[in-house]
Structure 1
Amino acid sequence: MNPNPAALSPKKPANTIALPYWITEFAQIRTAGLAALAAVIIGATLVAVTAAQRHDADADLQHATRLRDTAHSRYAHVDSEKRDIRNFQRRYLELRQRGLIGEERRLEWVDAIRQVQEELQLPPLSYQIEPQQPVRLEAAMDLGDYQLRGSRMRLHMELLHEMDLFDFLGGLHGRGFFAAQDCSLKRLAAVGGGQANPAGAGGASGAGAAGGNLGVDCTLNWITMAPNAGAITSAPSVALATGRRP
């Protein structure tokens, strides 16, 4: 049996392509290249993490700055209020003692009228006090938790001459807080025997001279300041104005 000539003949080498030198020699720097690539990735990750942490730190700093500014503002406000309290406490107690702050003191007002009348030796007078009402101011005023209230008093009296009216109002100013809304004077036809009290008068104060030469009708608004209350907020308001001077 004859052998196969193809099997007995030697194999011819296959055609090969020469690779670039940097590929054939890459095996020598493969470890260093991978290490460099890993270092770049790790470095980029650290930079990104650092940037995020810095952003968070800036946000925390801004928040802490706002909290500090708010706390400083509150501290300054409290310190200012403490100074105001120290500065105005004595004045507040004085006004409270004189009757401006607190509930109205009608009995003290009537007693003040009687005292001034006796001091000036004025003829008998009569008065009528209306219910207390909120005061409407022409210009806005910050009163905090307090409300300005007024009690309107209509006063009728007889005087010997015009200066008695100024002396009477001046004496009342030292005993309370009020605004004279208007006053009207008229000369009486006959002297002596004082006139009768007007209808609906709330009271009368006697003693002093028997009569006068002038008849005077005044409207006074006695002023007080009290904490806000919803009970009288819907009531008609009193316009605080001095009106014409007597």
Structure 2
Amino acid sequence: MDAMSPAAPATPAARAGARVPLPYWVRYFALIRPAAITFAVTAIVTIGAVVTSYWKLYGARQHELQAQGARDAERQRFVHVEAEKQDIRTYQPLYVELRRRGFVGTENRLDWVEAIRQIQEGRKLLPLTYQIEPQQTYKLTGPVATGEYQLRGSRMQVHMDLLHELDLINFLVDLRQRGVFTVQDCSIKRATTAGNTALAPALTADCTLNWLTLTTPAAPRHQGGI
């Protein structure tokens, strides 16, 4: 048997044939490299422009919504002001009349006393007596919106000698023109001692009235200490 001879070295042609061929898109990428770079840059710029446009559009819509909200608020304020003006035009005559009658403002008992005296003299009524209690907060059966004002009342007990029932009715009708009050109760009885004269009382009436006023709450008094 012959001895094995050493292997001969590979030739350059053999080494070149042993290389793996590159894909065609790698071999030809150099041809499209400028176009690819241009496409990538254009895509990035386009995406950036779209994102920027979106955020600007979003900001513009938010600004538009805020402007619409401010416009609606101003419109509501304008409608409210116009409604208040209409209310003032509607209720101002009534407010002035109530102030004239002493319903709005500070209680003035001297006006009541003077009104009773004038009605008694004008109607030529028999002598009457009355007593006014201290003013207190007047409570209504249902809720009434009085704003910053507070409804207060002063109870007055009235005793009248009457020639007939119309004396009491005329007295209350005339008194209502001088102030605002409610009749809590009123009872009429025959006079126990009827005289023979024309001016002798035939009836007696005892009524309880509540004089009402709308006043602003008084400021609290601060008591100082040492």
Q: TM-score range by the shorter chain?
A: 0.7 to 0.9
Aligned to 1:12: 12
Report the 3-state secondary structure (helix = DSSP H, G, I; strand = E; otherwise coil) of the residue aligned with 2:104.
coil
Query: What's the offset of the Cα at 1:192?
Result: 4.2
Give the AA of the match of 2:90.
N
The Cα shift of 1:172 comes to 0.9
Deviation of the 1:28 alpha carbon: 0.9
| Residues 156 and 18 of structure 1: CA distance in aligned 2, closer, same or farther (over 3 Å) | same
Structure with bigger helix share is 2
Matched, 1:218 2:221: no
Structure 1 runs of 4+ aligned residues shifted over 6 Å read none
CA distance in structure 2 between the aligned counterparts of 1:68 and 1:228, rounded to whole angstroms:
37
The normalised TM-score by structure 1 is 0.77
Q: TM-score when scaled to structure 2?
A: 0.84
1:30 and 2:33 aligned: yes
Distance 1:123 1:28, change over 3 A: same
Question: Does the CA contact (< 8 Å) of 1:182 and 1:219 recur in 2?
Answer: yes
Amino acid of the residue matched to residue 98 of structure 1?
A: R
> In the alignment, what sits opposite 1:178?
181
Q: 148-157 or 38-47: which moved more? A: 38-47
Q: CA RMSD in A?
A: 2.2
- The alignment-based identity, stated in percent, is 45
Q: Which residue of 1 aligns with 2:117?
A: 114
Report the counterpart of residue 170 of structure 2 in structure 1.
Answer: 167
Secondary structure of the equivalent of 2:164? coil
Residue 73 (structure 1) aligned to one of 71, 76, 97: 76
**Greater RCO (CA < 8 Å, at least 6 residues apart):** 1
2:91 to 88, 109, 118: 88
Residue of structure 2 equivalent to 1:146? 149
Structure-1 separation of matches of 2:10 and 2:145:
117
Shift of 1:11: 5.1
Contact 2:101 2:177 in 1 (8 A): no
Question: Is the CA contact 1:159–1:214 (under 8 Å) kept in the aligned structure 2?
Answer: yes
Gapped regions of structure 1 (runs ≥ 5): 1-8, 194-208, 232-246
- The letter of the residue matching 1:229 is A
- Unaligned stretches of 5+ in structure 2? 1-8, 221-226
1:125 aligns with 2:114: no
In the alignment, the residues of structure 2 paired with residue 151 and residue 211 of structure 1 have an alpha-carbon distance, to the nearest angstrom, of 31
Separation (CA, whole Å) in 2 of partners of 1:157 and 1:220:
13
Aligned length: 208
Per-residue CA deviation, residues 65-102 of structure 1 (Å, 9 max, x unaligned), is 11111111111111211222233223322221221111
Q: Distance in 2 between matches of 1:179 and 1:162?
A: 19
